A = this chain, B = another copy of it.
Amino acid sequence: MAKITTVIDIGSNSVRMAIFKKTSRFGFSLLYELKSRVRISEGCYELGGFLQERPMQRAISALREFKKISQAYKSRKIFCIATSALRDAPNSKDFIKRVDKECGVKIKIIDGKKEAFFGAVACANLSHSRDGIMVDIGGGSTECALIENGRIKDMVSLNLGTIRLKELFFDKKLDLKEAKNFIQDAFNALPDSFVHSNIFGVGGTIRALAKLIMKQTNYPFDLIHGFEIDVKKHIDLMAKIIKSKEEKLEEMGIAEERMDNIQGGFLILSMLIERFKTKNITTCGVGIREGAFLVDLLRSHHYVIPNGINPSLQYLHDTFSFHQENKNLKKITLRLFDLLSSDFKLKDSDKRLLLMAGLMVHIGSCIDFYHENKHSAYLVKYALSYGFSHYERIFISLLIAFSEKKNPKDSDLQDYKMYSFDIYTLQILSYILSIAKILGSFYDNSIDFSYQQKRLVISGISDNFIILEKISRLARPKDLSIVFGE
């Protein structure tokens, strides 16, 4: 039985719950998520930070329901953390007592550094990028953390947030300049080392930006986590939204619930981009909740998932149980790649993705054996949530989709123009995968390969007409011939 863990976080804007299912030592997946727009800090920035009675009641009602749902999922642990809104509230202790008594949930207030740490642990372990500054713009505070080669170097929490800005400046229709000065002052807390071309973008503000851009550009892949934003191309969009009247926001495609805090959020983000000299934002669908879960999971591993382990791959393996034959398949894949790589200009990064494709090429049979390829490609595309870029997920899924099928053509890639896949590389790699799939089921040590001048020789299979038939039928990439030796 999988272990189920719940993380609840009480932010200024929403109370959110994530329930995680752990399937093996490092394999896990998000089982359930729920948010309630409690706005616990409503009205409090103007009133010395004191939590108000109605928002507190909303929070208690939400937490009571969250607890019930968590129990229905047979969750064994609940971590409930609270951030800026409770940190700043003089009456937070009373609230915590009430929640404990009325809901049976123990809230732990974490300081800004810890909050930044949780977000950074999530990004460092679950994003495909290894370097950048984690930025989590919340309702009451904004956390930043510098990540280098997957390690967290420094963290800081700024007293800046979307609700805070809204109540102090936007609601009062004050000049934008005053908000900017306020933000600039808060930036004094940022260390000088915080300069980086990449931002890991956590939280609702950056997710909203990603959604807007995906819509505007007809992005073919409806997934937030891992979506890359080219700052140069989209900085004007942010500027436009910051200056818009609130009435105009709906026309521009802003979701209703995001309407009243997106301007403050974009203002903070665009000023951080300038300050950090950032060129690219890696959107992160993960954040403080995944971080809190990982900090518990990785407490004896220095908060780093060991090298070579991917939690989604592990989860897929645990859930959809791969076949036995993959060892042979891997061996053959590597051998063929090494033989062909120099002539066909294959890169090391191609090798990694090809091996991933080999690992997952059969998982689709758990949906329907007769359309294994299609379903394996689907699972790679949609279930390989953590640690892969969109480019990588689509590349792997294309390799699988084309294996033992027709050669990929330009028209097959029409949806994915922005990735500029090299069609010839796809052909060669999916051909390697096809041969490895066929021989993977039959492998014995008598099979050998050699290669010279665009001729691949496979020997030791001449008496196996099932293999011969299957390999002969494969669509070959141009400029490669195949010969069966003794």
Binding site for B on A (CB under 8 A): 29-34, 36-37, 58, 61-62, 65, 68-69, 72-74, 222-224, 285, 319-320, 323-325, 365-371, 375, 378-379, 382-383, 385, 441-442, 444, 463-466, 469
Q: Tell me whether B366 and A385 are in contact (CB under 8 A).
A: no
Q: 26 A-B pairs, CB-CB below 8 angstroms?
A: A29-B366, A29-B369, A30-B369, A30-B370, A31-B365, A33-B369, A34-B441, A34-B466, A37-B469, A58-B465, A61-B465, A61-B466, A65-B442, A68-B442, A68-B444, A69-B441, A69-B442, A72-B324, A72-B325, A73-B324, A74-B324, A222-B371, A223-B368, A319-B319, A368-B383, A378-B378
12 more A-B residue pairs beyond the given contacts A61-B466, A367-B382, A375-B382, with a C-beta to C-beta distance below 8 A: A31-B369, A32-B365, A36-B465, A61-B465, A62-B465, A72-B324, A72-B441, A73-B323, A73-B324, A367-B383, A368-B383, A378-B378
Evaluate contact between B36 and A466: CB separation under 8 angstroms.
yes
Q: Which residues from chain B contact A32 at a C-beta distance below 8 Å?
A: 365, 369
A303 to B44, CA, bound (A): 70
Docked CA distance A366–B385 (Å): 11
7 closest residue pairs by CB, A with B: A367-B383, A30-B369, A36-B466, A72-B324, A368-B382, A367-B382, A69-B441
* CA A74 to CA B310, docked complex, whole Å: 27
From A33, A65, A285, A469, residue with most partner B Cβ within 10 Å: A65
Expressed in whole angstroms, the minimum distance between the Cβ of A366 and any Cβ of chain B is 6
CB contact between A463 and one of B31, B61, B72 (< 8 Å): that residue: B61
* Assembly CA distance A68 to B467 (angstroms): 13
Residues of B within 8 A of A69 (CB): 441-442
Q: Which residues of B contact A464 (CB under 8 A)?
A: 61, 65
Task: State the Cβ distance, A214 to closest chain B Cβ, in Å.
Answer: 14
Contacts of A444 in B (CB 8 A): 68
Residue from the set A30, A72, A223, A442 with the largest chain B CB neighbour count within 10 Å = A72
Query: What residues on B are CB-neighbors of A366 within 8 Å?
Result: 29, 319, 383
Give Cα A74 to B29, complex, Å.
Answer: 28
Chain B residues contacting A36 (CB-CB under 8 Å) are 465-466, 469
- Taking CB atoms, residues of chain B closer than 8 Å to A379 are 367
A21 to chain B, nearest CB (A): 9
Residues in B whose Cβ lies below 8 Å from that of A72: 324-325, 441
Identity of the chain B residue whose Cβ is nearest the Cβ of A73 in the assembled complex: B324
Q: Give CA–CA (A360, B102) in the complex, Å.
A: 34
How many whole Å from A173's CB to the nearest CB in chain B? 29
Given contacts A69-B442, A442-B68, A442-B69, contact A62 B466 (CB under 8 A): yes
Measured CA separation A319–B319 after assembly (Å) = 7
Nearest CB to that of A379 among chain B residues?
B367
Q: Which residues in B have their C-beta under 8 angstroms from that of A319?
A: 319-320, 366
Measured CA separation A222–B375 after assembly (Å): 13
The docked-state distance in angstroms from the alpha carbon of A29 to that of B368 is 8
Nearest opposing residue in chain B for A37, CB measure: B469
B residues near A371, Cβ cutoff 8 Å: 222, 382
Contacts of A224 in B (CB 8 A): 370
A62 / chain B contacts, CB cutoff of 8 Å: 465-466
How far is A312 from B102 in the complex, measured between Cα atoms in Å?
44
- Give the shortest distance, in Å, between A334 (CB) and chain B (any CB): 19
**Min distance, Cβ A62 to any Cβ of chain B, angstroms:** 6
B466 touches A370 (CB 8 A): no
Q: Which residue of B lies closest to A33 (CB)?
A: B369
